[in-house]
Chains A and B, each alone.
Chain A
Amino acid sequence: MTTTDEPAVSRPPRAAIKARNLRIDNWRRGPILTVLGITAWVAYATFRVFYQGDYWVADYHYLTPFYSPCVSVGCVPESAHFGRFIPDSPLIPYAALSLPFLLAFRLTCYYYRKAYYRSFWLSPPACAVPDGHTRYTGETRFPLILQNFHRYFFYLAVAISLVNSWDAVLAFHSPDGFGFGLGNVVLTANVILLWCYTLGCHSCRHVMGGRLKHFSKHPVRYRLWTLSSALNDRHMMWAWITLGSLALTDFYVMAVAAGWFDDLRFIN
Chain B
Amino acid sequence: MSTRTFRVWRGDADGGDFAEFDVAVNEGEVILDVVHRIQAEQAPDLAVRWNCKAGKCGSCSAEVNGTPRLMCMTRMNLFDEGEQVTITPLRTFPVVRDLVTDVSFNYEKAREMPAFAPPAGLEPGEYRMKQVDVERSQEFRKCIECFLCQNTCHVVRDHEENKPPFAGPRLFIRAAELDMHPLDARDDRREAAQDDQGLGYCNITKCCTEVCPEHIRITDNAIIPMKERVAGDRYDPLVWLGRKIFRKGKKPTEAKSPAD
Interface positions of A (Cβ within 8 A of B): 7-17, 21-25, 110, 113-114, 117-118, 123-124, 127-131, 135-140, 144-145, 148-152, 155, 202-203, 205-206, 210-217, 222, 232
Contact = CB atoms under 8 A, between A and B. Distances in A.
Contacts of B227: 148
A22 B88 contact: yes
Interface stretch (B19-27, B111-119, B234-242): B234-242
Interface string B173-189: 00000011010000000
B11 interface: yes
Nearest to B84: A24
A145 B63 CA distance: 33
Contacts of A202: 220, 224-225, 228
Contact of A152 (B93, B228, B237, B258): B237
B205 A114 contact: yes
Given A9-B158, A202-B220, A210 B231 contact: no
28 contacts: A8-B157, A10-B91, A15-B9, A15-B11, A17-B9, A22-B86, A24-B83, A25-B65, A110-B204, A113-B204, A117-B205, A124-B205, A124-B207, A127-B67, A128-B66, A128-B68, A136-B154, A138-B200, A138-B201, A139-B201, A140-B200, A151-B236, A202-B220, A202-B224, A212-B254, A212-B260, A213-B179, A216-B130
B92 to A, nearest CB: 7
B66 A131 contact: no
A7 B158 contact: yes
B55 interface: no
A21 B68 CA distance: 11
Contact of B155 (A136, A205, A232): A136
A128 B235 CA distance: 32
Nearest to B65: A24
A9 to B, nearest CB: 5
A124 B162 CA distance: 15
Interface string B1-32: 00000000101011110000000000000000
A214 B130 contact: yes
A137 B155 CA distance: 8
B154 to A, nearest CB: 4
Given A9-B91, A15-B91, A139-B200, 10 more contacts: A8-B158, A12-B13, A13-B94, A13-B102, A14-B95, A140-B201, A148-B230, A149-B235, A152-B235, A202-B220
B168 interface: no
A203 B227 CA distance: 10
Q: Which of A15, A124, A137, A148 has the most CB of B within 10 A?
A: A15
Nearest to B254: A211
B170 interface: no
Interface in B57-109: 63, 65-68, 83, 86, 88-89, 91-95, 101-102
B54 interface: no
A118 B205 contact: yes
Interface string B212-255: 00000001100011011111101111100000000000000010
B16 A16 contact: yes
B205 A13 contact: no
A155 B201 contact: no
A15 B91 CA distance: 6
B259 A114 contact: no
A128 B152 contact: yes
Nearest to B131: A216
B206 interface: yes
B132 interface: yes
B67 A128 contact: yes
A118 B232 CA distance: 26
Given A15-B95, A137-B201, A123 B86 contact: no
Contact of B162 (A21, A25, A136, A215): A136
B160 A11 contact: yes
A36 to B, nearest CB: 19
A135 B93 CA distance: 19
